Copies of this chain bind each other. A is one copy, B any other.
Amino acid sequence: MNEKVTSNDVAKKAGVSQATVSRVINNYSFVRESTREKVLQAIEEMGFTPDQVARSLNMRKTGTIGLIVGDISNPFFSETAKVIIGEARESGFDVIISDTDHSDQNLGKAIQTLIGKRVDGMLIGSVGRFDTNVQQLVDKRFPLVMYNTRLDRDDCNYVVINNVKGARVAMKHLLDLGHQKIAYISGNTKYSTLYDRLNGYHETIKKQGLPFRQDYVYDGELTVAGLQRFLQTPWQDEERPTAFFASNDQIALLLMEAALSLGIRVPEDISIIGFDNISYSAKPFIQLTTVSQQHRRMASLALEKLIQLMNTDDKTLKVSANLEPEIIVRNTSAALEQ
């Protein structure tokens, strides 16, 4: 910024050695009060701000963590990011955010630049089950905690909910309301989260002895137009799904849009249940029934675990946590009218 005042300049002005300046900015205890004050005053007068870059270089830590998400404009991620940024700061960390747009290639690049920047640890909210870039990080035992999604291996650190169970809970809710013909809108199953939810759906269908119909599972483009086409599938009347389980709230909202545009009423004509409980789902004009994955708590825990990881030398420490899914019944699901 202005004419680069360094600890050396401060030292000269205060008439002490540069090391002493370093001692006072680091609150080292054994500095005579009078010299401490001299230094402090010089710092004040010269507008000195310690250079964290230099500091990082020989401390081998930067006080920065990397946060990688698939889409920061998705409320799920912006809401978790808020928690992470806030609590990280309280613990003395800044956070660099990378947005991958759900591309594996971008994820790879993001990891590379973050490694280059020597972040002390990473939090990853979107990672494919078999992502090779993240696998390598794990193999290297780089301090890393995944949340929301995780790799398909156990020797890694993550905070997730039991998504199979979450899907089961969602299905049970629909079944309890009398629905039997339940369609599923799948997101990209490269993510464990979405893969597990799909499995929970399948599992429930099977356990209930319901016929499995491939045409009840949508895995096309996640746009209003695509979902409109799905809703307009030429089912026989008695085969038409009466309930739709969307693999997350964003998708559920899209589905609600599609239904609305087609004059299909929710929940009168069809019931809809989502997953995640993003804050918009609670809005009175939406009132989406959904399953909470306690995302703020998840974010908070993930950071807490990461900090543990960064503070230990035990390369074998496991810090994963599992949260419980929780159903939130609102107005988009209703009993099936006979």
Contact = CB atoms under 8 A, between A and B. Distances in A.
Interface in A37-66: 49-54, 56-57, 62, 64
Interface string A159-178: 00000000000000000000
Contact of A97 (B53, B85, B101, B256): B85
Contacts of A304: none
- List 4 tightest A-B contacts by C-beta distance, closest first: A78-B78, A73-B82, A52-B116, A73-B79
Nearest to A112: B49
A117 B94 contact: yes
Contacts of A140: 1-2
Interface of A: 1-2, 49-54, 56-57, 62, 64, 71-73, 75, 77-79, 81-82, 85-86, 89, 94-99, 101, 109, 112-118, 140-142, 253, 256-257, 260-261, 279-280, 283-286
A53 B62 contact: yes
Contact of A78 (B73, B112, B114): B73
Nearest to A85: B99
Contacts of A253: 283
A117 B64 contact: yes
